[in-house]
Amino acid sequence: MLKVAERAQQTLESLMPNRRKAFIEQKAHIWRAFGRHLAKMSYGKCWYSESNDPQSFFDVDHFRPKKEAKRAEGVADDGYPWLAFSWENFRYSAGRSNRLNTDDATAAVLGKGSWFPLLEGSVRANWTNRCEDKESAVLLDPTNRDDVGLIEINSEDGRATPSVTCVGQAKQERAKRSIEIYGLNLGNLITARKRVMRDLQDDYLTLMEICSAGTDMAAVSRLQNKFRRATLPSAPYSRAARAKMHSLPYGPKFCAQPEDEPEALA
């Protein structure tokens, strides 16, 4: 698979500019072939939204768009065709985060599509100056730990918001625009997060009652394992689960630790 991508890249490099887009379109099977491997890395969850909805279609998204990059309304350029076959530019994405779609509740058009705005004053990479590592991207990158930390889930209403450490105008802009473009506050996502958090809170209250009564310690163990499973990175909406647990007295002590593995809690 990597060899196929490398050969396609070599051919792309030799083409005249007016033939590049057509060639990239003909080779969509190359990045799609990476999908199952990318899904395995995230336990089948969308890298942007944490959704694992089995009824959703999933894409291999090009974080930096391969054929057109939309910088603002009515402003676009040729994007990053040299990254069309680069596995480091691939992100596993649910369709509603990746493709343009309409939020039924607000009628707003969401989805990444070809969006890739840059912060004001940023350099802009192009075919002859491939300086993408020097760009100041607006969209948060789910493979960048610092970027991920700029968004958190509200433990009460299930909405994605800029985190407490998201300080400064540029970071606030990045977090807010990413939440909007990735559709992180679509109604169905909020509902799914709230369901996870409600179930955890109910189980937590049950655990506290059992502990107070000093009975059924087997149930205590089962509930503790349930909390750990819900807060493992492999769990759907684990960030919402952790937000809820951290909002409860003693809740953080029941969260999964780095050494916990999914198979250990099966």
Burial of 84 (0-12, 13-18, 19+ CB in 10 A): buried
Sequence-distant (≥ 6) Cβ neighbours of residue 216 within 8 angstroms: 210
Predicted confidence (pLDDT) at residue 130 exceeds the cutoff of 60? yes
> Of 97, 122, 138, which residue is a domain's last?
138
Distance CA 175, CA 162 (A): 6
- 178: in domain: no
> Of 111, 138, 165, which residue is a domain's last?
138
- 214: in domain: yes
- 183: in domain: no
In this predicted structure, what is the pLDDT of residue 261?
Answer: 64
Q: Are residues 11 and 93 in the same domain?
A: yes
In this predicted structure, what is the pLDDT of residue 85?
Answer: 98
Q: Are residues 202 and 92 in the same domain?
A: no
- 33: in domain: yes
Predicted confidence (pLDDT) at residue 265 exceeds the cutoff of 50? no
What's the pTM value of the predicted model, to 2 decimals? 0.90
For the chain, how many helices (H) and strands (E)?
Answer: 10, 8
DSSP state of 70: E
In this predicted structure, what is the pLDDT of residue 262?
Answer: 55
Q: Which two tokens stand for residue 212?
A: 């107070």
pLDDT digits (tens, 9 = 90+) for 82-95: 999 999 999 999 99
Through-space distance between the first and last CA atoms of the chain, rounded to whole angstroms: 33
- 130: in domain: yes
The confidence band for 205, taking pLDDT boundaries of 50, 70 and 90, is: very high
> Of 138, 168, 196, which residue is a domain's last?
138
The residue type found at 2 is L
Q: Are residues 18 and 92 in the same domain?
A: yes
pLDDT digits (tens, 9 = 90+) for 28-64: 999 999 999 999 999 999 999 999 987 788 999 999 9
pLDDT digits (tens, 9 = 90+) for 93-104: 999 999 989 888
Q: Are residues 10 and 126 in the same domain?
A: yes
Phi/psi class of residue 88: alpha, beta or left (left: φ > 0; alpha: ψ in -120 to 50)? Answer: alpha
- 9: in domain: yes
Strand, coil or helix: 60: strand
- Count up the domains in the chain and report the number: 2
In this predicted structure, what is the pLDDT of residue 213?
Answer: 81
Q: Are residues 129 and 195 in the same domain?
A: no
The domain of 116 spans 2-138
Burial 111-129 (b: 16+ CB within 10 A, else e): bbbebbbbeeeeeebeeee
- 225: in domain: yes
